[in-house]
Amino acid sequence: TKAKGYYPVSVSARTVVYKGLVLGTDLGAYYKDLEDPRVESAFAMVHQRFSTNTFPTWGLSHPFRMLAHNGEINTVRGNRNWLASRASDFHNEVWQGEEWLLKDLVDAHSSDSASLDQALELLVLSGRSPTHALAMLVPSAYGIDPTTSANVKAFHQFHECFSEPWDGPAALVMTNGMQVVASLDRNGLRPSRWKLTEDGVFALGSEVGIIRLDDTTVVQKGRLGPGEMLEVDVKRGRVRFDKEIKEELAAQQPYGAWLESHRIDLTAQAPLETEEPLDLLGLSQRQAAFGWTKEEVDMVLVPMLKTGQESVYSMGDDVSLSVLSERARLLSTYFRQLFAQVTNPPIDPIRERAVMSLDVVLGWQRNWLGETPDHASVVHLTSPFLYENELESLKQLEKFPHRVLDTTWPIADGSKGMQEALKQLCKDAETAVKEGVRILILSDRGVDHQRAVIPALLATGAVHHHLNTKQIRMRLSLVVDTGEARDTHQMACLFGYGASAICPHSAFETIRETLQQDKTARKPRLEGLTYATALSHFRSALEKGVLKIMSKMGISVLSSYTGAQIFEAVGIGAEVMDFAFAGTPSQIAGIGFEEIAREALERHAAGFATAVPDTGDEAPVALGDPGYFRSRRDGEMHAVTGPVIKNFHTFVKSGNKEDYQAYLDAQLENRPVALKDLLDFVPSEDGPIPIEKVEPVEDIRVRFTTAAMSLGAISPEAHEHLAIAMNRI
């Protein structure tokens, strides 16, 4: 059992860990043996840092049992979830049947560094060398270095079959008491410099001058590059560098042969357009049920088809929060993407594309503590976005049994029926795992006059968390076959809550419809664009958009982003969050299952207004134009409207109090758009508060602090202005 506040530092016979909430210069005074000349050690590993992302506690100070870490693991929430789900598959000769001890090993309430230390310790104690464990948890971007051997590439590709990277800026130093290993993340976002003297002293640190050495005795010096590692073997008295270490690791097993005989690489070209005529009525009905709008087609889809990338928008989103909207918004709009703050630089997804990866593996991710040829038995995709012919190819793979689960529910069951259908979906997914299914496809193609769509994000999150709770999630991959997802935010949400691959089938149909309409348009927008090229552009735009979203959080690899839940919900109730999105912050209450179901039924009614199937002569359903992307008179409420802008310009030019009041009135007339619009001042019944009861400015200003802001997170100019402001305060 875990005792609150109890942290066993180390029971190793090879290392002693000294830690505390003290300055580094005071550690010797705190631990007297550090000042005792009788205490000798072949090595010392020292790290001091500010607590930037967690509340400072003794147990979370560095170093940990094996690791000292400078940086952030941005994917830690997903890494913890995946590791917890893996626990049921742990087996290793080291533990001799006592693998039950390893359950709940990683503490979800600890820091990212503490969790990485626990994962690293598990791998090392289970038989992997420190270098092997680090190369597995924090791998290099092996694909961009032309000097990387085929064996080393195979080593990394093999481990990708059953382990996702712990991704984020990281300078790592760890030891098991016999070897001291240093490593950098794949982007090299933290410094790590080293020197070796002629008398055998090896020093490594993040800053120059940490250890005073006579430079005349230095025989070798350098710095770790992105994804590189080095090892000081204390027992043998030698230093090994990246290439030697990686080649030795790659020679441990015939990884290349295992991949060649077990891994399936699924590649397909964009399909040619079918000769079968489009069912325009059926398509329009499904589009309405999936929440498509005319402005999405014109302002989101068409630019993606033309350019192969997203449209460029101005900064800011002034549209009403979904929970305050009077319209039936998609569930994904209730989620906000998180981004790197305080100490963490974002990645440039254009200039640093080479270190980023969207590769995906599907199938059973096997025992994390072992390695066998069967570990390579996965399907490898170079893109997580599946064309329909690729989805069909997946279904034909005999070695990877699949099952399609329907994510719709009968409208006759009303709004209460969706939750029951969702619970049954989770049970069916659990049954599929137990029956050996390796690829589970969640599909909403069953939508029709009688059946409404369970939101794809809700279905994905619910199944993902249910299987995680049962600790069987690693035995299959989730593929989402949906008509709802068509933009990059929707895709990112699905990945964040467990989807490994997505087939946006309604988007493909809409692309075909758009191309056909463009051929007869008076002003063609897509002239000369073939169906295959349009599909290719669409997939390219989705890939670039997801890379951009990942980069804002400092994440380079999609497999690390998958299941990481790097979002915050705004306006979703605890019942839904606990069921499908557990672990995601939701600061306020909001909609529950019934409200979500009612909005889904409202969208369904917009498409399938009649109670019986069409007779073939009805006109297609006209898609709405609600003004989500630009203000419309009868559309969704925006904070910045025509009257607001007009009155603002008038006030700025005149400076009159009356014009300012008109501007203020125009703002206040808007329906609530943000949470602040729901706030109001409550006058005191006793009149104004006496000035002597108001907190003095001297007490207020001591609460301002900028100490945790690092140069890596904000510019030097911003630092200077913060310093000036603090000095003035």
Q: Over the stretch 92-120, which tens digit does the pLDDT of each residue have? A: 888 888 877 777 777 777 888 889 999 99
Please tell me the predicted confidence (pLDDT) of residue 313.
80
Give me the half-sphere count of Cα atoms (radius 13 Å) on the Cβ side of residue 282: 12
**pTM metric for this prediction:** 0.91
**CA dist 111 to 129, 190, 378, 421, 471, Å?**
24, 19, 32, 37, 23
H/E run at residue 490: helix 488-496
| Radius of gyration (C-alpha) of the chain in whole angstroms | 29
CA distance 372 to 367: 9
Q: Is 336 exposed, middle or buried, given 0-12, 13-18 or 19+ CB atoms closer than 10 A?
A: middle
Contact 71, 50 (CB under 8 A): no
Q: In what order do the strands lie in the sheet with 218-223?
A: 202-205, 193-197, 218-223
Question: What are the percentages of helix, strand and coil residues in the chain, rounded to 5?
Answer: 40, 10, 45
Domain 278-308+329-351+383-540+565-607, architecture per CATH: Alpha-Beta Barrel (3.20)
Cα four-point dihedral sign 90, 96, 100, 102: negative
Instruction: Look at residue 393 and give its three-state secondary structure.
Output: helix
Tens of pLDDT, residue by residue over 529-561, are: 999 999 999 999 999 999 999 998 888 999 999
Quote the mean pLDDT of the chain.
Answer: 90
Instruction: Look at residue 246 and give its three-state secondary structure.
Output: helix
- Which residue type does 26 have? D
pLDDT-derived band at 25 (thresholds 50, 70, 90) equals: confident
Tens of pLDDT, residue by residue over 593-623, are: 999 999 999 999 999 986 455 555 678 888 8
pLDDT-derived band at 297 (thresholds 50, 70, 90) equals: very high
Please tell me the predicted confidence (pLDDT) of residue 360.
95
Q: What are all long-range contacts of 515-520, with beta carbons under 8 Å and residues at least 24 apart?
A: 515/305, 516/278
Calculate the CA 491 to chain-centre distance: 11
* Residue ranges per structural domain of the chain: 24-262, 278-308+329-351+383-540+565-607, 637-729
Angle at which helices 417-434 and 593-607 cross, to 10°: 100
pLDDT-derived band at 1 (thresholds 50, 70, 90) equals: very low
Strands (DSSP E) contained in 384-426 are 402-406, 408-410
Domain 24-262 CATH class label:
alpha beta
Angle at which helices 255-262 and 150-160 cross, to 10°: 60
